[in-house]
Amino acid sequence: MASELACPARVPPDPTTLVEGKDRLSHPAVFHFSNDFAGASLSTPRTPQGADPDVLAADEAADEPTDGTDALPSRAYTTSPSLCSGQERIEVDFDHWTEAKEKVVTGPYDYIAASPGKEIRSLMLACFNAWLEVPAQRLEVIKRAVGMLHTASLLIDDIQDNSELRRGRPVAHKIFGPAMTINSANHMYFLALQELNALETPGVVDIFTDELLRLHRGQAMDLYWRETLTCPTEADYFEMTSNKTGGLFRLAYRLMKAESAVSVDLMPVVELLGVLFQVADDYKNLCSREYGDLKGVGEDLTEGKFSFPIIHTIRTNPADLQLLNILRERPTNDHVKRYAIELMEKTGSFRYTRGVLKKLATQVHEAVHLMDQGRGKGKALFELMDRITGFL
C-alpha cells in the first residue's frame, strides 16, 4: 500500500522555497503525514507502471544542463528527507494575519466609507438616546456596528441594482469587481457582529440575527417584484419597507433597549420612521436634482424598481402599460426617464406621495407626544424629521 501512495518523484520544485536543498517552511502549527507514505523516497523514483524505460531515460537526460552552467538539478530537493517519508513536518501559522492583508478584504468597504452620507442613522440613535440613556461607550459600539452594517449593505445593493454611482462616485464593484466587493460586505457583517459581541449583553446575537433575516426578506421581495415585473400593492410595499429599510432602525433601537435601564417603548415610532424614510427616499430619487447629481436621473427607473410613486401610477391606471414597459426596459436614456416622470406627474403620483409622507409625519409626532408625556425629549427627533421631509 505504501509503495502505491508514494509521492511522485518528478514534481518540479519551486526554487524560491528551497534553501540549500531544504524546504523553507517554518510555522508553529504542525501537520503530520500518514504512515501510508513511510518508506517512499523521492531520491529513488519508481518507474511508472507501463512506462517505456528508454523514453524515461531520454526525458531525464533532457533535464541536464547543456550550457556548462550549474543549473538547479531537476531532483535537487531529494537531497533532504522527503516530506512524504514521515521524517519531516509541515508547519503553518494560522494566526499570522496582517493589517495589510485586512486592508485587502476591507478595500471596497473603505472606499465607500471614505465618502460618508448624511449620517441619518447615527443622528437617529442620538435621538433615541434622549429617552433610553445608554452609556456613551456602549452607545458608540452600537453606532459603529450599525454604521458598518449599513455601509456593507450598500455594497451589495449597488451590485444587485447594477448601479453606476454612489454618493457621487463610481460604485465599489466598478473599481474592485463584484467578487471582492461581495466578500468585503460579508466580512463587514461579521465584524459588526464581533463588535456587538464584545458588549457581552444577553440577547445581542438573537437581535442581530432576527433583524438581518428580516432585512434580507424585505430585500428579496423588492428584487422579486423587479425581476418578475410584478407590481406590489401598497400593503406589500409597506411590509417590504418595514423589513428592509426599517430593519437597521429596529436593530439599533433593540440593541440600545438591551443596554438601557429606562422603561420606555419606542418601537411604534421606530416602525413609522423606517417607512417614512423609505417613501421620502423614493420620492427624492425621482424628483430631487441633488439626488440626481449624486446617483443619476431617476435611478429607480434604470433599476426597474417598484418605488412608491411608481406603484401608485401603475395601480391608478392599470390599463396604461407605458410605465410598466419602461420599467421592463431598465432605461438609461435621460429623455426616456424624464418622460416616465412626466407620466407619474400627470397621474398625480407625486402629489399623492407627498400626502402620504405628511400623514406619516403626523403619526410620528402623535406617537412621540404620547410617549414623551411633556418631557420635551422629542425635540431632536422632530428636527431630524424636518430634515428628512423638508421638501414637503
Residues 204-230: pLDDT tens digits? Answer: 999 999 999 999 999 999 999 999 999
Burial of 363: CB neighbours in 10 Å, binned 0-12, 13-18, 19+:
middle
pLDDT tens, position by position, 332-383:
999 999 999 999 999 999 999 999 999 999 999 999 998 888 888 999 999 9
Residue spans of alpha helices (H) in 172-321: 172-176, 178-197, 204-228, 234-259, 267-287, 289-295, 299-303, 308-316
What is d(CA 388, CA 390) in angstroms, rounded to the nearest whole number? 6
Residue by residue, pLDDT tens for the chain (392 residues) are: 444 444 444 444 454 444 444 444 344 444 444 444 444 444 444 455 555 555 445 555 545 555 544 444 444 444 455 555 566 788 777 778 899 999 999 999 999 999 887 788 889 999 999 999 999 999 999 999 999 999 999 999 999 998 888 988 999 999 999 999 999 999 999 999 999 999 999 999 999 999 999 999 999 999 999 999 999 999 999 999 999 999 999 999 999 999 999 999 999 999 999 999 999 999 999 998 877 666 778 999 999 999 999 999 999 999 999 999 999 999 999 999 999 999 999 999 999 999 999 999 999 999 999 888 888 899 999 999 888 888 87
- CA–CA gap between residue 7 and residue 40 (Å, rounded): 7
Report if pTM > 0.85.
Answer: no
Q: Domains in the chain, please, with CATH? A: 101-389 (1.10.600.10)
What does R_g of the chain's alpha carbons equal in angstroms?
31
Do residues 267 and 142 touch, judged by C-beta distance below 8 A? Answer: no
β-pair type (18-19, 22-23): antiparallel
Q: At what angle do helices 308-316 and 267-287 cross, to 10 degrees?
A: 70
DSSP state of 385: H
Helix, strand, coil shares, percent, the chain, to 5? 65, 5, 35
